[in-house]
Chains A and B, each alone.
Chain A
Amino acid sequence: MRLFDPPMRRLQRMIGARRMAYVFLLPNFVFFGLFVFLPIGINVVFSVTGGTALFPSQRPYVGGEQFAHLFDCGSYLDPATCREDHFWRGVANTAKFVVFQVTAMVAFSLVTALVLNMKIRGRGFFRAVYFFPVLLSPVVVALIWKWILQRDGLLNAAITTLGGQKILFFVDPSWAMFWAVFVSVWAHMGFYTLILLAGLQAIPADLYEAAEMDATPRWRVLTHITLPLLWPNMIVVIVLALIKGAQTFDEVFVLTGGGPGTATLMIVQYIYETGFASQVQNFGLAAAASVVLGVVLFVLTLLQFAAARRKEI
């Protein structure tokens, strides 16, 4: 990097020390420009054009046709009545997934954070234990569970030893959804536990001391001190889990492939398959679907900012 010294010095002599700020900003903004700002613009162009060409200027303008195609439904509650039934199955599945996942995530990370906040030997170790899966890649996470849940896997071995029948977890749609949620909670709950733990440790200790002086029962301490004061962190957890949940793809895709049938097909998988994996790549439709997803995520992000602001007060 010493190589940069002489040219940078010359540049500085030419434009002055203060303007060097732009030189330092430049590389990063070239990347942001090329891979974030420009793509956002192109995405909008894609969503209002048709055809199969990849280059925007070769694509004919079709106005809101892509969106009309996406939203062409007999009833929005029944994906089978839609022209893009896979998109709506993706929407319905993602909604179902997010509701179950966020509920389970909040419940388990709250209990875990409360337990880890107790004066317990080896607290650091246990905290790390719950965090470990967060580090694993989604593919590894999915393959670990696929191995355990397969027909002759560990779980079925346990079930048959206890006298039950083997269950084909990935053939039964409701089991497939259950495991998609379970595996996702398993993999990410450590992250949310940390957020709640940080909140628990920010609660002033004298509140607890006062409660102990008054011999307040433990459950009352929990419902009257801990939970109300933890509420801001809970909101952060809920909104973050919503945002991440709406973008769920990799774990579920590797675990179930979206199946059986379309029982666990998520919106992102629909976008990926429409734009990349299908025989006829439909960039316009994929872009339109991603604009819809983008709007949902934007609303959720606004919620997050509102939550974060309230937390500061």
Chain B
Amino acid sequence: MRLAVLLGQRRNGPGRPLHWTDVAAYAYLALGVALMFGPVLWLVLSSFKTQSALLEFPPSLLPFAQVEVTVPGQPQKLPLFRTTLPDGSVRELAQVRRIGLVAQMVDPADPSKQFRVAIDKREPVRRVALATENYTEPLQRFAFLRFLFNSVFVTVVATLITLLINSMAAYALAVYAFPGKQAATLAVIGTLMIPMTIILVPVYLVITELGLANSLWAVILPGAATPTGVFLLRQYMLTLPKDLIEAARMDKASEWQIYWRIVMPLTLPALAVLAIFSIMWRWNEFLWPLAVLTKTEVYTLQIALNAFQGELQTQWHYLLAMTVVTLAPVALVFVFLQRFITTGIGSTGMK
């Protein structure tokens, strides 16, 4: 029904014929949805497949797993096959063992009946099943929780520091007139043009001299002061009524109190935007942590994931599950805040 309404929508109101560009536009958008969401969906579906299902070619859409049954008299669970017997009848049999091209099968309902079947006469019985062990096993086998904790710690602490020091600087630049204000503003603009990429080596030196190499603080501190953040907050604070601050000064509030109790609460919308961006930046950061973190126990998720993809070429089942965990928080942010984010970025032009 919805689709009919959607497709029936005319560009120039009811009554006019559907222009070919409208049709093309909807086709383009449909393709866009498939191309933008499809790969992520495929990743999530794949992450629930068993290791053997992942090796299948061509791959199946849904995560299937072969059904296994317990047969009396057999120590292990046996895989179930749909078997074509020599007389032409088809039965579901469990496979006891396979010798060369012949499989020894047994009827699960009547274990006394044994069959010898050529292996091309049987087909695995499969059902949709989620291989959740892809998610649970990395918790034990690798220090996955550790990486998750590191990423969360870096993201949370860095964002708090960013919000605090950037809002303080923004407050100074928005509210006061003082000698050197021009120079300070210029310095902030200047830093806007310096990407981390070109000062990688010396920042590494500073971090080493501070004794922070291979600690999470090495990841947190260098990006904490962001010129974009200062500007965003300053622009917002400039719109606050000056009388409010004057009134507070009359009431003998200290400058810190004015900043913390009056200006900060009023700046919340801008702080929220910066917080979301900071969380995205920090959670996704790659090059700098890669350069400064060399010990496994301080790896963030992104770095761990990259390290894994080198080592675990054949272990896609773990790699995919860990990738899904890494993208989950971002996907959640997207679901809840998508409208807010697209308009926020559109108006501030930051990334």
Contact B168 A24 (CB under 8 A): yes
Q: How far is the CB of B150 from chain A (nearest CB, A)?
A: 14
Nearest neighbor of B294 in chain A, beta-carbon distance: A276
Nearest neighbor of A267 in chain B, beta-carbon distance: B197
**B338 CB–A CB distance under 8 Å:** yes
Across the A-B interface, how many residue pairs have beta carbons closer than 8 Å? 283
Assuming the A-B contacts A17-B249, A111-B28, A115-B28, are A250 and B39 also in contact, with contact meaning beta carbons closer than 8 angstroms in the complex? no
Contact B257 A286 (CB under 8 A): no
Contact A39 B330 (CB under 8 A): no
**A54 CB–B CB distance under 8 Å:** yes
- Selected from A24, A134, A291, A298, the residue in CB contact (under 8 A) with B351 is A134
**A99 CB–B CB distance under 8 Å:** no
**B230 CB–A CB distance under 8 Å:** yes
The interface residues of chain A lying within 8 Å CB-to-CB of B197 are 247, 249, 268, 271, 290, 293
CA distance A7 to B115 in the complex (A): 87
The interface residues of chain A lying within 8 Å CB-to-CB of B347 are 198
Q: How far is the CB of A29 from chain B (nearest CB, A)?
A: 7
**A152 CB–B CB distance under 8 Å:** yes
**A112 CB–B CB distance under 8 Å:** yes
| B186-202 interface bits toward A, Cβ cutoff 8 Å, 1 = contact, 0 = none | 01100101110111111
- Selected from A21, A36, A111, A132, the residue in CB contact (under 8 A) with B178 is A21
Q: How far is the CB of A174 from chain B (nearest CB, A)?
A: 22
The interface residues of chain B lying within 8 Å CB-to-CB of A154 are 42, 59
Contact B345 A191 (CB under 8 A): yes
Nearest neighbor of B302 in chain A, beta-carbon distance: A139
The interface residues of chain A lying within 8 Å CB-to-CB of B320 are 143, 147
CA distance A140 to B47 in the complex (A): 13
**B48 CB–A CB distance under 8 Å:** no
- Selected from B28, B166, B177, B280, the residue in CB contact (under 8 A) with A135 is B280
CA distance A146 to B306 in the complex (A): 12
**B149 CB–A CB distance under 8 Å:** no
Docked complex: B78-132 residues within 8 A CB-CB of A? none
Contact A32 B187 (CB under 8 A): yes
Assuming the A-B contacts A133-B36, A247-B195, A254-B306, are A128 and B169 also in contact, with contact meaning beta carbons closer than 8 angstroms in the complex? no
The interface residues of chain B lying within 8 Å CB-to-CB of A153 are 59
The interface residues of chain B lying within 8 Å CB-to-CB of A134 are 351
| A39-73 interface bits toward B, Cβ cutoff 8 Å, 1 = contact, 0 = none | 11111001000000011100000000000000000
**A18 CB–B CB distance under 8 Å:** yes
CA distance A293 to B200 in the complex (A): 12
Nearest neighbor of B27 in chain A, beta-carbon distance: A115
Nearest neighbor of B191 in chain A, beta-carbon distance: A36
The interface residues of chain B lying within 8 Å CB-to-CB of A156 are 57
**B255 CB–A CB distance under 8 Å:** yes
Contact B172 A1 (CB under 8 A): no
- Selected from A115, A148, A198, the residue in CB contact (under 8 A) with B39 is A148
The interface residues of chain B lying within 8 Å CB-to-CB of A198 are 346-347, 349
Task: Kindly state the interface size class of chain B when it binds its partner.
Answer: 35 or more
Contact B283 A137 (CB under 8 A): yes
Contact A135 B256 (CB under 8 A): no
Assuming the A-B contacts A31-B225, A137-B330, are A143 and B305 also in contact, with contact meaning beta carbons closer than 8 angstroms in the complex? yes
**B33 CB–A CB distance under 8 Å:** yes
**B1 CB–A CB distance under 8 Å:** no
| A1-18 interface bits toward B, Cβ cutoff 8 Å, 1 = contact, 0 = none | 100110011001000011
Q: How far is the CB of B299 from chain A (nearest CB, A)?
A: 12
Q: How far is the CB of B258 from chain A (nearest CB, A)?
A: 10
**B5 CB–A CB distance under 8 Å:** yes
Docked complex: A142-159 residues within 8 A CB-CB of B? 143-148, 152-154, 156-157
CA distance A145 to B35 in the complex (A): 12
Docked complex: A136-181 residues within 8 A CB-CB of B? 136-140, 143-148, 152-154, 156-157, 160-161
Contact A25 B169 (CB under 8 A): yes
Contact B286 A138 (CB under 8 A): yes
Q: How far is the CB of B60 from chain A (nearest CB, A)?
A: 10
**A195 CB–B CB distance under 8 Å:** yes
Residue of B29, B193, B222 most packed against chain A (CB within 10 A): B29
**A98 CB–B CB distance under 8 Å:** no
The interface residues of chain B lying within 8 Å CB-to-CB of A139 are 284, 286, 302, 305-306, 323, 326
The interface residues of chain B lying within 8 Å CB-to-CB of A254 are 286, 306, 309
**B238 CB–A CB distance under 8 Å:** no
Contact B286 A290 (CB under 8 A): no
The interface residues of chain A lying within 8 Å CB-to-CB of B333 are 135
The interface residues of chain B lying within 8 Å CB-to-CB of A137 are 283-284, 286, 302, 326-327, 330
CA distance A144 to B42 in the complex (A): 8
Instruction: Report 18 cross-chain contacts, Cβ distance below 8 Å, ordered by A residue.
Output: A9-B256, A24-B255, A35-B206, A37-B191, A42-B202, A46-B201, A46-B202, A115-B29, A129-B29, A135-B334, A139-B326, A144-B323, A146-B309, A191-B351, A198-B346, A271-B201, A272-B200, A276-B290
Interface pairs A-B: 8 shortest CB-CB: A137-B284, A31-B225, A8-B256, A42-B202, A39-B202, A28-B169, A157-B58, A24-B172
Interface residues, chain B, with chain A CB atoms under 8 Å away: 5-6, 9, 11, 19, 21-22, 25-26, 28-29, 32-33, 35-37, 39-40, 42-43, 46, 55-59, 164-166, 168-169, 171-173, 175-178, 181, 184, 187-188, 191, 193-195, 197-206, 208-209, 221-225, 230, 249, 254-257, 259-260, 280, 283-284, 286-287, 290-291, 302, 305-306, 309, 316, 319-320, 323, 326-327, 330, 333-334, 338-339, 341-342, 345-347, 349, 351
